[in-house]
Chains A and B, each alone.
Chain A
Amino acid sequence: MRCYNNVLNLWAKTQTIIISKDRINNSIWYQCLASKVILYLIQDGYSFPLARKADNKENAMNSEVYKESPVVHQPAFIDGHSVEIPILKILQQDGSVYQGAELPKIDQALATRIYKALAFHRVLDERMVGAQRQGRISFYMAALGEEAASVGGAAGLEDQDMIMAQYREQGALMYRGFSLEDFMNQMFSNEKDLGKGRQMPIHYGSNALNYMTISSPLGTQIPQAAGYAYGQKLQGKDAVTMCYFGEGAASEGDFHAGLNMAAVHQAPVIFFCRNNGYAISTPADEQFVGNGIASRGVGYGIKTIRIDGNDILAVLKATQLAREYALKENKPVIIEAMSYRLGAHSTSDDPSGYRTREEEAKWQAHDPILRMKNWMLANEWWDEAQETALFESLREDVLAAVKVAEKIDKPPVEDLVTDVYDQVPEHLNKQLNELKQHIKKYPESYPFTAGRIK
């Protein structure tokens, strides 16, 4: 306290204070000072301002945002739901566009590319759920009914933009051009899997396609996306980061950390929430009480838009605008896409234990793929013959690819110890050698690797 008073006296005399770095390490000290004085940090022989300059007009803590508010003399609570959030809808289920709707930038080529990705998505999901039931793969997660969010989101980006997804966004990867073989190799954990057979099915990733490898722990990619985007900004890249997550994952601490970091440090990141009504069995109304996820954007001072997630044109429009804004202003944006998870959470889940068939039927009427098809037909950009041919060939391709991928060998035993570090350290080499000796002794117990050990 004595030091503090000294500093204030000095301040009164000189209007300037220079203090050394070790003093600032005491954070209480720092907080006292930051609000009162100009703070310079002497470091490596040169000084720079650490806190914003404080003068009569502006405190180090920026309180201007509060000053715009009306002053009242009777207590008045504002309601927790006082923020009204409009929802953007462009395309109707019958394929017609709402009157006065502003269309995204789209032409026949883009529309066809999007539609083909959606069709691929639907077919792959359908076939792989089937493959899981037949015991050919261990696990799968479909995105039935919410494919427009991931495909449309990717379509609103540029190839150099990073996508950091949760797990139900295979559509973004499809749009980017991840091959059917790559999907299969990952799901069958074979030696051609880019992830070397280490993660459960659907945990895709591709450096070439700027699609960060999926991590199961929820929400972890959200603050990472803020950091990734900040790096893109500092390096002057013409690129943003797209961060997908579910409304359930938005409850994690990492969500709040990520949004605030992005807002404070002005990172060009698009936070794309897929609000599909459920987190496994937990309905959104048991997940939060506020007005969806969008209302939280306001709390962090981030530009926010809510859209119909089953409306491909709304998804595309919002993402195009968000990208433009993020890049130009170097600021984050939040998109909340409203949808419904029509399928089970995963092949390990059975939704009949927690929701009704009637509820599901209601949402079946909002199929995003059919909606886009109707629009394509109305534009005469697509016809039924093309439709039949596309779905037939996709089904054949997927079936054939399953048969190929399931016959490819599992990764070699050496892959157990690689990539733990950049180089295999001595202790892991030793463990690997012991393992190989052991496998040679009991080859019939380790059929995937025994035949290939030298």
Chain B
Amino acid sequence: MAQMNLLQAINNALDIAMAENDSALCFGEDVGHFGGVFRATSGLQEKYGKARCFNTPLVEQGIIGFANGLAAQGSTPIAEIQFADYIFPAFDQIVNEAAKFRYRSGNEFDVGKLTIRSPYGGGIAGGLYHSQSPEAYFAHTPGLKIVVPRNPYQAKGLLLASIRDDNPVIFFEPKRLYRASTGEVPEEDYQLPLGKAEVVKQGSDITLLAWGAQMEIIEKAAEMADNDGISCEIIDLRSILPWDVETIAASVMKTGRLVISQEAPLTAGFASEIAATIQSECFLHLESPIARVCGMDTPYPLALEKEYVSDHLKTYEAIKNSLNY
């Protein structure tokens, strides 16, 4: 085991993927020599050469279009979009192309080897365009897988699984935790399953569900609730698409209550999808309405970021409301 931060864990996963597979390529804006603006691809060009780890021109639709071509051809592209806020010029290549490549051809062709990595989320004084959590836009697209890790150990295991999975995967990295989150990470190869949530802490009174950087928030809220004698079961969803209904439903059957916390705005966020499904799966077990603690239905602000975000205090209030319903 080694002590790694989230960036080092990602870098380590990319290194393993490139070492084992000559057709694995890492590319994106500033990804080459510089190693990416966050340094996630640091050292990879030196190790694997300019042909396999390189800077691209500044064009996201080009990056993902190029990656789709490579994946269709049988290579293993791992494309970086510098910020999730800048993934939208590539929306067409992702939503209309990557996601539908296999289906539209009757499985004659696919881009299953494609992985898209992109830092997402707020809490870094980034304002409108360096803070967004766009997972829900993509969750509305059959054919994609969406994965969000919460810490270095999860990041390495989930990224390796994403790269090796035979479907296009968008891997959203919580950039607020890039350096802030550190932990023990095995140096050797391992994978964590896609499509599986993880019960991080057992509890009996209420289920708290989140993903990515929001996990820290619900853990903090759970501690506050614990002081009030409320026992929280904490679950990391890990995969947004496809998502693990079974684990969440089993937990809610046990606790009878669910609070979902997400960074993105409330309306049509992924929390809404979870709430709808869980209420139909667990209707007779629910003791109170499923609560969603989310960003407000506005663009991500700057000066009033603290006020806007779904923080631990708002989550704690939601927990108490659920218990006092």
Contact = CB atoms under 8 A, between A and B. Distances in A.
Contacts of B34: 280-282, 353-354
Contacts of A431: 266, 296-297
A300 B164 CA distance: 43
Contacts, number: 131
Interface in B29-49: 29-30, 32-34, 37
Contacts of A417: 296, 298
B302 A217 contact: no
B293 to A, nearest CB: 11
Given A354-B33, A410-B304, A217 B125 contact: no
A435 B55 contact: no
Nearest to A411: B303
Given A189-B303, A216-B130, A416-B304, A248 B89 contact: no
B69 interface: no
B304 A218 contact: no
Given A280-B29, A449-B307, A217 B86 contact: yes
A448 B304 contact: yes
Given A354-B34, A431-B297, A448 B126 contact: no
A216 B296 contact: no
Contacts of B306: 445-446, 448
B304 A251 contact: no
Interface in B208-230: none
Interface stretch (B57-65, B106-114, B146-154): B57-65
A281 B296 contact: no
A190 interface: yes
Contacts of A189: 302-303
B30 A282 contact: yes
A199 B125 CA distance: 9
Contact of B126 (A200, A354, A415): A200
A280 B37 CA distance: 8
Interface residues of A, number: 49
A446 B125 CA distance: 15
Given A354-B33, A416-B307, A441-B317, A253 B59 contact: yes
Given A199-B127, A416-B298, A287 B58 contact: yes
B142 interface: no
Contacts of A138: 125
Sort chain B's interface into a size bin: 35 or more
Main secondary structure on A side of the interface with B = loop
Nearest to A279: B58
A251 B33 CA distance: 19
A249 B58 CA distance: 6
B302 A428 contact: no
B298 A428 contact: yes
Top 6 A-B residue pairs of the complex, sorted by shortest distance between their CB atoms: A197-B303, A216-B129, A281-B34, A251-B57, A189-B303, A251-B58
B128 A198 contact: yes
Interface string A429-454: 00100010011011001101100000
Contact of B130 (A197, A200, A448): A200
Most A C-beta atoms less than 10 A away, residue of B60, B62, B296? B296
B42 to A, nearest CB: 10
Nearest to A427: B297
Interface string A324-354: 0000000000000000000000001100011
A428 B296 contact: yes
Contact of B313 (A190, A197, A254, A442): A442
18 contacts: A197-B301, A197-B302, A197-B303, A197-B304, A198-B301, A198-B302, A200-B125, A200-B129, A216-B129, A216-B130, A280-B30, A282-B34, A287-B58, A354-B34, A410-B304, A431-B296, A438-B314, A441-B317
